[in-house]
Amino acid sequence: MPQKEATSTQEFVEIERIYEDTLILKGGGLRRVLLVSGINIELKSEEEQNIIYSEYQNFLNSLDFSLQIVIHSRKLNIQNYLKMLQDREDQEADDLLKSELAEYREFIRSFVAENDIMTKNFFVVVPYDPINLPSKSTILNLLPSFISRKEPTANEAPNEISEGTKRNLFQLSQRVEHVIAGLRAIGVRAVALNKEELAELFYNLYNPESMEKNDLVFTHD
């Protein structure tokens, strides 16, 4: 039964695999996910706001491809913070400070339990969807497969990608650099998630009720 549930869930996930920090979709499309910082526009002066709006408009006008902007909200996970306070309390020799740490820890735990404190992460998904038109030679090569299907040999590596896919990855990387530079001009920092961070992100997305891992942070230089 658990295996059937896992298989059923995978049918709704469009991701085939992750290759070199890139999502490869089942239909052949490629995606890179950028973690983006936010701007509190209300704290800016009117002049600064106008500059940001102008730069954002210029950025959008410079794009010849679509972007997907995703805002992910989730409840604040303070388990690591509470554990840090508990460890500090256990190591404290002064009874007064020990008591104050215990009260503070309990206050934080109760406050978060009674109030839904949310954290927000901002993502930009950069796509590349190649249009693959079969050539005449490709069609002729496919015809024998209707009669006899060739089994993969031991020397074939299933995780290797074609030269065409490598070219598509290069085109996608060019788009990613353009988006990062455009967002930087607005005053927004963006970094592309690596393979491990992508796995963590989608684990949290598809397991919202389970204990989430550490929050995603800007770990890139």
Residue 127, pLDDT > 90, answer yes
Mean pLDDT, range 186-196, rounded to an integer? 92
- For the chain, domain boundaries: 1-76+120-144+162-221, 77-116
Q: Say which amino acid occupies 99.
A: S
**Alpha-carbon dihedral of residues 35, 41, 44, 48, nearest 10 degrees?**
80
**According to the model, what pLDDT value does residue 215 have?**
53
Cβ count within 10 A of residue 91: 9
Q: What is the pTM of this model?
A: 0.67
Strand partners, 23: 18, 31
Tokens found for residue 33: 């996910």
Overall average pLDDT of the 30-46 stretch: 91
Structure tokens at 55: 């730069």
Q: Which residue has the higher pLDDT, 73 or 57?
A: 57
Give the DSSP letter of residue 42. G
What percent helix, strand, coil does the chain show, rounded to 5? 50, 15, 35
pLDDT value of position 202 = 84
Which residues sit opposite 25 in a β-bridge? 15
145, pLDDT greater than 50? no
Question: Distance between CA 74 and CA 54 in Å, rounded?
Answer: 31
Please state the φ and ψ torsions of residue 145, each to the nearest 5 degrees.
-65, -20
Cβ–Cβ < 8 Å for 36, 124: yes
**Arithmetic mean of pLDDT over the chain:** 79
CA geometry: angle at 17 spanning 15 and 20, to 5°?
125
